Structure 1
Amino acid sequence: MSKNNRQAPEGILGFPVAPFDESGKLDVKGLEANIDFLLDSGLTSIFVACGAGELHAISTEEYREMVEVAKSRTGGKVPLYTGVGGNIVHALEQAKISEELGADGYLILPPYLIDPSQDGIYNYLSEIITSTELNAIVYNRDNCVLTAETLEKLCELPQLVGYKDGIGNMETVAEFTHKFGDRLEWINGMPLAEVTMGAYLNLGFKTYSSAISNYIPHISALYFEALQNGDKETVREIYDSVILPIHKIRKQKKGYAVSLIKAGMKIVGLPVTTNVRAPIAPVEQDHYEQLKDVIERALEKYPAKTKIKTS
């Protein structure tokens, strides 16, 4: 199956959060600092208002503002993608806003509540994909798990450029990469993708979304470079001292896929609070201190080269 002439982002993808101030309102300055830090750290693209950006909890006005900020800060330096999903009406509205504001594409998050059939999943995804001419990436997770037959039908749509996996079924992943080859960009979207990236790399995945890149991007990059170069010693060192300890904390509570990112950002000095919106809960103090200890030890062993801009 040949690849169309559209290009999906590759490498380590940046997923900024939705920073909220002490009153719970969207903090534009915090978002700007988050995006600037990711860009300065060399991430290959920006995905705004996705899962880490609490798409489920922001208003349409806030969504528009976040995309505007991201468009302004990226300035064409890297591809800009947005998150769309949930309620189909809202998802189509978000897709139109993304197109209007000049995004390059969007990541389609699962539909709201409903556990659909495969034809229902196809209808949901295809309607969003064909609603604009922007590039689209499907996210295989939760209540949007695709069969090979459904993905094959979706591959007939030229706007589809990528497949992000958040399930971790290696048998299915192997089948898909073999069947569809380079038709799609294969993206590891598992919780703390660094934990599983070694396995995914061997199956043809050369791209992943990194939560820890919001606060220690240089370590994620060092890990990925070592992984690609077969430097097993460096991979093991980072795995043991950084990745697994953070993953262990992350597994302590549902919602830490988002709130632990904000905690890490605050620990390294980025101008954000740890505020999140319900139903996500903030990081507990004990877990915050555990994360702080891991990060401080990591930065001592692997000093950051990129300075954080706080204004």
Structure 2
Amino acid sequence: MFKGVGTAIITPFDENYNVDYKALEEFVNFQLDYVDALIVLGTTGEAPTINEDEREKIVSTVVNVTNKKVPVIVGTGSNNPEHVLHNNKLAEKSGADGLLIVSPYYNKSTQKGLVEYFSYVAQRTDLPIILYNVPSRTGGNILPDTAIEIFEKNANVIGIKEASGNISQIAELISKKPKDMKVYSGNDDQALPLMALGGDGVISVFSNVLPNQMKELTQSILNNDYAKAQEINNKYNILMRKLFIEVNPIPVKYAVSKLGYCKNILRLPLIPISESGKEVIDNLFEEMNIL
């Protein structure tokens, strides 16, 4: 699908909480100057609050603006496999290049159940699939052997977004996986160690704000210029972490609004960032001369 940085993009809303498609187009054009892929309707895109009509129009908008310059990968995950299949069909219809599918949450599963679940979904679409492991949100963990088994059983499963935060688990996965299985970091502050271990890139929140810097970081690693990568990582590590000072995408939505690409509006249950959170982001923007 891609190597380097894929931005998990925000979804802009207007004052009436409707999707702001003009702002979305402008934001995608901004991102296209730097990134290797765009991930639409993930956690950062507030996917749980997006209705079906909006979902189809959002994906179509991003696909049309990108015009095949980079892959467009759509988050279609749910804890109901039939809902996932429906979302997959919408993504196919809208011209998406791939799917990002999170492990089922709330009802969760066993490791064997995860193999069956992802295989059931994969066998019913032709689009490439990236598994998404984020135990902090799903309550379940895709273990390395499970991820590898899913990959080996399904030709269109191409890799995994690893957001477990467990670098030892990620190291085990990379050491055991087939060569052509992709592993992407789901945590910006772990992009460097994951890629140094042999991973392929990052699906990034941070690059909503500074896509050029995350592109430079990942490209430095791919070029084996670890001194440059360390320099960039050390400079921006604090911002990567503080973009999670409150629940994602609350801080990053505020940060992108400061850049002028969206309004600082989120749909419930998410609410705008606190005053103390604003102060943290404002201070970092000033220190890093971002505006």
Q: Same fold (TM over 0.5)?
A: yes
2-structure distance, mates of 1:91, 1:153: 20
Q: Deviations over 1:125-158 (max 9, x none)?
A: 1222221100000011223422344223312210
Q: Deviations over 1:54-103 (max 9, x none)?
A: 11111111111111101111111111110011132221111011112221
CA contact (8 A) 2:25 2:61 kept: yes
CA contact (8 A) 1:32 1:70 kept: yes
CA contact (8 A) 1:16 1:31 kept: no
How far the C-alpha of 1:208 sits from its partner, in A, is 0.3
Question: 2:43 aligned with 1:47, yes or no?
Answer: no
Query: What RMSD over aligned residues (CA atoms) do the two structures have, in Å?
Result: 2.1
Question: 2:258 aligned with 1:267, yes or no?
Answer: yes
Task: Return the match for 2:160 from 137, 160, 163.
Answer: 163
Q: 2:282 corresponds to which residue?
A: 292
CA contact (8 A) 1:177 1:204 kept: yes
Matched position secondary structure for 1:264: helix
CA contact (8 A) 2:201 2:218 kept: no
Task: Return the match for 1:37 from 6, 22, 30.
Answer: 30
Q: 1:3 corresponds to which residue?
A: none
1-structure distance, mates of 2:43, 2:118: 17
Q: 1:309 corresponds to which residue?
A: none
CA contact (8 A) 1:242 1:295 kept: no
Number of residue equivalences: 285
Matched position secondary structure for 1:111: coil
How far the C-alpha of 1:239 sits from its partner, in A, is 4.0
Matched ranges for 1:89-128 at <5 A: 89-128=82-121
Q: 1:189 corresponds to which residue?
A: 186
Q: Deviations over 1:184-220 (max 9, x none)?
A: 1110012xx1x22222122111310221211221222
Identity among equivalent pairs (%): 25
Question: 2:193 aligned with 1:199, yes or no?
Answer: yes
Task: Return the match for 1:84 from 61, 76, 81.
Answer: 76
2-structure distance, mates of 1:269, 1:139: 30
TM-score, normalization by structure 1: 0.84
Q: Which runs of 5+ in 1 are unaligned?
A: 1-7, 304-311
Q: 1:153 corresponds to which residue?
A: 149
How far the C-alpha of 1:246 sits from its partner, in A, is 4.7
Matched position secondary structure for 2:179: helix
Q: Which runs of 5+ in 2 are unaligned?
A: none
Q: 1:23 corresponds to which residue?
A: 16
Matched position secondary structure for 1:91: helix
How far the C-alpha of 1:106 sits from its partner, in A, is 0.3
Matched position secondary structure for 1:89: helix
How far the C-alpha of 1:112 sits from its partner, in A, is 3.6
CA contact (8 A) 1:50 1:83 kept: yes
Task: Return the match for 2:230 from 235, 255, 264.
Answer: 235
CA contact (8 A) 1:14 1:43 kept: yes
Q: Greater CA deviation, 104-113 or 132-141?
A: 104-113
Residue type at the aligned position of 1:102: G
TM-score, normalization by structure 2: 0.90
Q: 1:308 corresponds to which residue?
A: none
Residue type at the aligned position of 1:141: V
CA contact (8 A) 1:105 1:135 kept: yes
2-structure distance, mates of 1:43, 1:176: 25
